[in-house]
Amino acid sequence: MSATQNQRYDDEISLIDLAATFVKRRRIFYAVFLACILAGIAYAFVTEDTYQYTSLIQIAEKGSEKFLEPPATTIATLESRWLPEQEVLYQSENGEKLPFSTSFANPENTGLIRLISESPYKYAEGVKTVHQYLIEQVQQRHNALLEREKRSLESRMRSIDQSIDVLKSGQDSGQVLAEAFDRKTRLESDLEALKAAETLVLARQGTEKTGPARKLIVVLAALLGLMGGVFVAFIAEFISAVRSAMNEESE
């Protein structure tokens, strides 16, 4: 029983010592806390508001939900070729890295490719320029694929026309001739279904700001100041106690 009471007494003394230490070093706590608050406020007001800029392109089609190139392939080319080209060009012209990032997405079961950049308003024109370049590259590639597909269909149609001319002069060719006309009709339908890539939206600015809110930055700075102030106050007391002990030993 006596040992338990002594333990409780020791714990009580320890808590009192902690409180006394905190009061003794309160100026250090106030200094650290105030420094964190001021730094948080300064950072909150210096940090620029950022916005999300979105562009949208419909890739070339050769029929309902049939694409001349899979959207994933186009996105891979954007990420590995055309965007790095713009980053290198910007750095060579301005001596610094591109001040915003750009990502790409393909909504499921669509031929849409979304370009997304987050940037301060002052770089809005730069975002538009980069998005315009990337979209132009996609359009050029898909238009080339479209022309190749168109030439292929037209060549096959000419070949069928020649076959039809030969079949017309023959006998007992009614069924074969009907099949030839049917193939030609399908090719004409495929030709009409071809659709070029189209820009739907170019660097549209979002209505809401992105990035951490200023109030949140100040609150986090206050929490950091509380924890940092307490920690530094007790570290200062610990260092002072160590120095006192070393001085006593030296005497």
Note down the domain range covering 93.
Answer: 48-208
Instruction: For residues 200 and 219, state if they share a domain.
Output: no
Cα separation, 130 vs 84, in Å, equals 11
Q: Which residues contact 164 (CB under 8 A, 6 or more apart)?
A: 177, 180, 181, 184
Instruction: For residues 58 and 177, state if they share a domain.
Output: yes
CA atoms within 13 A on the CB side of 98: 22
Last residue of a domain, one of 174, 190, 208: 208
Which of 73-77, 161-165, 198-202 has the weakest average pLDDT? 161-165
With pLDDT > 90 as the criterion, what percentage of the chain qualifies? Answer: 36
Instruction: For residues 124 and 12, state if they share a domain.
Output: no
Instruction: For residues 199 and 80, state if they share a domain.
Output: yes
Output the DSSP codes for the chain.
Answer: -HHHHHHHHHHHHHHHHHHHHHHHTHHHHHHHHHHHHHHHHHHHHHSPPEEEEEEEEEPPEEETTEESS-HHHHHHHIIIIIHHHHHHHHHHHHSS--SSEEEEE--TTSSEEEEEEEEEGGGHHHHHHHHHHHHHHHHHHHHHHHHHHHHHHHHHHHHHHHHHHHHHTSSS-HHHHHHHHHHHHHHHHHHHH-B--EEEEEEEEEEEEES--HHHHHHHHHHHHHHHHHHHHHHHHHHHHHHHHHHHHH-
Instruction: For residues 142 and 41, state if they share a domain.
Output: no
CA atoms within 13 A on the CB side of 192: 6
Say what the pLDDT of residue 3 is: 52
Instruction: For residues 29 and 150, state if they share a domain.
Output: no
Confidence class of residue 11 from pLDDT cuts 50, 70 and 90?
Answer: very low
* Sign of CA pseudo-dihedral 57, 62, 64, 66: negative
Instruction: For residues 246 and 234, state if they share a domain.
Output: yes
Instruction: For residues 100 and 184, state if they share a domain.
Output: yes
Instruction: For residues 95 and 193, state if they share a domain.
Output: yes
Say what the pLDDT of residue 86 is: 92
Question: How many domains, the chain?
Answer: 2
Instruction: For residues 170 and 226, state if they share a domain.
Output: no
Instruction: For residues 66 and 120, state if they share a domain.
Output: yes
Instruction: For residues 161 and 62, state if they share a domain.
Output: yes
128-187 pLDDT, tens digit per residue, is: 999 999 999 999 999 999 999 999 888 888 888 888 777 777 665 677 778 888 888 888
